Amino acid sequence: MAEAERRARWTVRELLTWTSERFASLGIPDARVDAEHLLAHALGCARIELYVQHDRLLDESDRAGFRELVRRRLAREPVAYIEGTRGFHALDLDLAVDRRALIPRPETEHLVDWLLESLRPPPAPLMHVLDVGTGSGAIALAVAKARYEVQVTAVDISAEALALARHNIERLGLEDRVTCVQSDLLEAVEVPERGPQRGFDAIAANLPYIPTVDLDGLEPEVRVWEPTSALDGGPDGLTFVRQLISAVVECSALIPGGRLLLEIGVGQAGQVESLLREAGFLDVQSRSDYARIPRVVSGAWPSE
């Protein structure tokens, strides 16, 4: 094979090496992983398959689509938006993602795990869960997928985010288990009435919690590409957390013993714990994420 012809066809290994070095030189984190994700996406194969194809030659037609994906990543577009999907919680919970909502993150899985632990164990009568600030629908869908006897109300103020959530609900075939409501926190939410008992069994919220002053310091993938309205939590990051806690109390939105679970930012756990206790919640606790940062705060509404 002539050298000119040879250089017109790169191996998978060579293309991954060149791309990851290019990404790394520009300060893009996880450069090799990103390169693998994009090449697998361009070739229509699983990322793991690349490891047994390192010597496969790729001609111009193979590389054309990959170049466009690389161009987008060089503009700091997140890989999840480029691929159009992101796995969350359960192995088969594959969510469509785009710029209408935040990309689901591993930290939020801790909230889902805690919420599922707080529900009555199966077999159990019908339970109701509220997901406030649903975005792509990640929390609502993970809960509905895990527990067949749970009805989930997914709430967001953004009509665009709710359209994405509805799309994911349909993708997963959970239309009969998850209902979307456009609402500013609890304003348009109907609290369940079950005989003498009123309220949701659990309320989860991943609200904007980044202080406004910190937004400009975020990575370009977040600052430029993800919706600012889903990030900006006001002067100290807790504007919407305070509003939700007040709304839950004023609306009697939890059954006795029901839990409110809040995802929070770095350094906010102590303040949010105090807010919950001052509002009358009991058994207030925090749980940490994989980096040992307190990431979820929860409190139980008093039993009658």
CATH number at residue 174: 3.40.50.150
Q: Which helix (H) or strand (E) covers residue 31, if one does?
A: helix 31-43
Q: Does a structural domain hold residue 147?
A: yes
Q: What is the full per-residue pLDDT of the chain (304 aa) written as tens digits? A: 444 444 567 899 999 999 999 999 999 999 999 999 999 999 999 999 998 888 888 888 889 999 999 999 999 999 999 999 999 997 779 999 999 999 999 999 999 999 999 999 988 899 999 999 999 999 999 999 999 999 999 999 999 999 999 999 999 999 999 999 999 999 999 999 987 889 999 999 999 999 999 999 999 999 999 999 999 999 999 999 999 999 999 999 999 999 999 999 999 999 999 999 999 999 999 999 999 999 999 999 998 6
pLDDT of residue 60: 85
Q: Report if residue 88 sits inside a domain.
A: no
- Domain coverage including residue 50: 3-75
- On whether the CB atoms of residues 66 and 18 are closer than 8 A, the answer is no
Cα–Cα distance measured from residue 171 to residue 137, given in angstroms and rounded to the nearest whole number: 11
Q: Does 173 count as an annotated binding residue?
A: no
167 lies in the same domain as 19:
no
Q: Looking at the structure, do residues 117 and 59 belong to the same domain, yes or no?
A: no
State yes or no: 44 annotated in a binding site.
no
CB 247, CB 185: distance < 8 Å: yes
Predicted pLDDT of residue 304: 66
11 is in an annotated binding site: no
Q: Is 206 annotated in some ligand binding site?
A: yes
Same domain, 8 and 115: no
| 116: number of Cβ within 10 Å | 17
Spatial CA neighbour of 244 closest among 170, 163, 189, 302: 189
Query: How many domains is the chain partitioned into structurally?
Result: 2
Other CB atoms within a 10 A radius of the CB of residue 216 amount to: 7
Task: Looking at the structure, tell me whether residues 168 and 271 fall in a common domain.
Answer: yes
| Total-model pTM | 0.93
One domain for residues 41 and 130 = no
- Among residues 75, 109, 135, the one where a domain terminates is 75
- Both 219 and 265 in one domain: the answer is yes
At 4 the pLDDT is: 46
Q: Which of 75, 91, 116 is the last residue of a domain?
A: 75
Residue 294 identity (one-letter amino acid): P
Amino acid, single-letter form, for residue 200: F
Structure tokens at 24: 């790394």
Residues 52 and 140 in one domain: no
Residue 167 included in any domain: yes
pLDDT at 53: 87
Q: Name the domain boundary from 42, 75, 108.
A: 75
Do 103 and 70 lie in one domain? The reply is: no
205 found inside a domain: yes
> What pLDDT score does 124 carry?
84
The verdict on 7 and 144 lying in the same domain is no
Same domain, 181 and 267: yes
- At 194 the pLDDT is 81
SS3 category, 259: strand
Is 56 in the same domain as 131? Answer: no
Binding site annotation covers 108? no
**Predicted pLDDT at 148:** 93
Say if 84 falls within a structural domain: no
Residue 258, annotated as binding a ligand? no
State the pLDDT at residue 3. Answer: 45
For residue 245, the tally of other CB atoms under 10 A from its CB is 22
pLDDT given for residue 6 in this prediction: 47
Interatomic CA distance for residues 216 and 222, integer angstroms = 10
Instruction: Let me know if residue 93 belongs to a domain.
Output: no
**Domain assignment present for 90:** no
Contact 32, 13 (CB under 8 A): no
Residue 164 in contact with residue 100, Cβ under 8 Å? yes
According to the annotation, is 135 in a ligand binding site? yes
Give the containing element (helix H, strand E) for 170. helix 159-171
Question: Residues 249, 147: one domain?
Answer: yes
Q: Is residue 82 part of a domain?
A: no
